[in-house]
Amino acid sequence: MQLKAKLARNALTIGSWITLGHPSIAEIMAAAGFDWLVLDTEHSVLELSDVQKLIQVLDGQRCPAIVRLTSNHPDQIKRVMDAGATGVMVPMVRTAADAAAAVQAVYYPPRGQRGVGLARAQGYGARFQQYRRWLEDNAVVVAMIEHIDSVNAIDSILSVDGIDAYIIGPYDLSGSMGRPGELDYPEVQSAIERVKEAGRRIGKPGGIHVVEPDPDQLVQNIKAGFNFLGYGLDIRILDTLCRGHMHQIREAL
């Protein structure tokens, strides 16, 4: 079943983040069984050429590639979609208008306003009509809820036609509330709960990015009602495993 269909059914999906540009990283993570992988262009040095190469690797592994953008700019959305991305993860969606603008940039007219061009996604020109049909059935738009303004407008954001899921960026959210990194602060937790309840009420799948790779924390969030979750990222998974193993080795000596 395609990712968009899973989201429409509110099925549980678990993904992760890629910030390193080596194809082997993407190949290893896709083969590990994640339901989707985010190529992060906001907090990494990945360039568009890197993104296309990683999308090609993920396509070979049949793993949906979602590109986390640096902004909600339609030109950026058009380029990553033309590179063959399954969808986009849009940062700092603070209003329903922001959400609608992202959807418009993903889809061609008459549904959207995306410029028409021929690139990898369209089979380099050989499969444009097939891509048009694929786009309608498979493209995914994820709104990042990472500001208190987003929380205050959450019902209208999640009600925008074409928003397939949401994900909470806990660090930026806490920062917007004057408590950067204080994820357990009561008001931050209350804001997260408000978003979760809105998603449940509207029937929109969503979740949170569990940045540190902690399986217990991930399970807790699933039990709390989230069903679209990011688990760790390449650099944190690599770092925690290396540090943890070296600690165990030294303790055993």
Which amino acids are annotated catalytic? 43
Cβ neighbourhood burial of 75 (10 Å; 0-12, 13-18, 19+): exposed
- Are the C-beta atoms of 235 and 22 separated by less than 8 Å? no
Residue 57 one-letter amino acid:
V
- Are the C-beta atoms of 177 and 188 separated by less than 8 Å? yes
**Residues in contact with 73: Cβ distance below 8 Å, sequence separation at least 6, in sequence order:** 105
Q: Which has the closest alpha carbon to 121: 133, 104, 110, 109? A: 133
Helix (H) or strand (E) holding 168: strand 165-168
